[in-house]
Every structure is written in structure tokens, then in C-alpha cells.
Amino acid sequence: MLNIAFIAHDRKKEEMVNFVIAYEHVFVPHKLYSTGTTGTRIMEQTALNIQRFCSGPLGGDQQIGALVAENEMDLIIFLRDPLMAQPHEPDITALLRLCDVQGIPVATNIATAEILVKALDRGDFSWRELVHKYKPGVQE
């Protein structure tokens, strides 16, 4: 079981919901997280249970970022709107930087999201299980 987060800017929320509906079967066995409104919309259209944080501008990106900083997140699908300025852009940049620091796969568009989810479905993320198993401070 992996930890997966969904984040979508306002004009990308419908695209995110449709994407998650299409791959719902892939997400079922995993622990799912999301920023507030995105998670609500996904849960309204699917049978998935999602732990929701605040909306992005109210700190949701940072809450997910805290899990990334602890290397507790395994995959993030963050459908960004590149044509709209975001008031919380520094939080977004910080989240993406943390993903780079921790080596967390992150998709910022639907094409990359599909490639990562197909890899997840094939079992190509088993290396993340090793990250969790051998985390400093974790005993076998």
C-alpha cells in the first residue's frame, strides 16, 4: 500500500475527477490524500476514501508537503493550471522542491499522471516499499 496525493487547481478539478474515475481500480488498495475541494469532488464521483487536508491556498499544499518532507508520500498527482497565477505559488514551489529532494514522483499534467499510474498498476513502485522498510528509526 502506497500513499498517494491528489491536488488540482480550480480549472483542473474536473480533469482530475475524470482521471481518478478512469483509474479508480488502481487507487483502491492505496492510502489516498488530497487537498480539500479536490478530495471532496473525487469522493462524490467515486467510491474512494480520501483523507482531505485544507484547500491549497489555506495550507493544504503545505500539509501534503509535511508528509513529503518525512518521506511518507509515494506519489503526487498535482494537476497545475499553468495559465493562471496562483496566490499560494510559493507553497506550490516548496512542495515541488520537497518532491525533488525526497525523490517523490510527481505529475503536474495529465500525460505524466497517466504514465505514473500505469507504472503503479504494473507494480513499478515496489521500490517505495523499500524506502518505508529501511527508513531511519524504523525497526524490522
Closest CA to 59 of 18, 96, 87: 87
Q: Is 61 designated active site?
A: yes
Residues 6+ apart with CB under 8 A from 99: 68, 76, 105, 106
Q: Which residues contact 57 (CB under 8 A, 6 or more apart)?
A: 86, 87, 88
104: nearest Cα among 131, 127, 74? 74
Give CB contacts under 8 A, 24+ apart, made by 46-49: 46/20, 46/21, 48/20, 48/24
Q: Which of 10, 61, 91, 124 does the annotation list as catalytic?
A: 61
Region of residue 81 (left: phi > 0; alpha: psi -120 to 50; beta: else): beta
Active site residues: 61
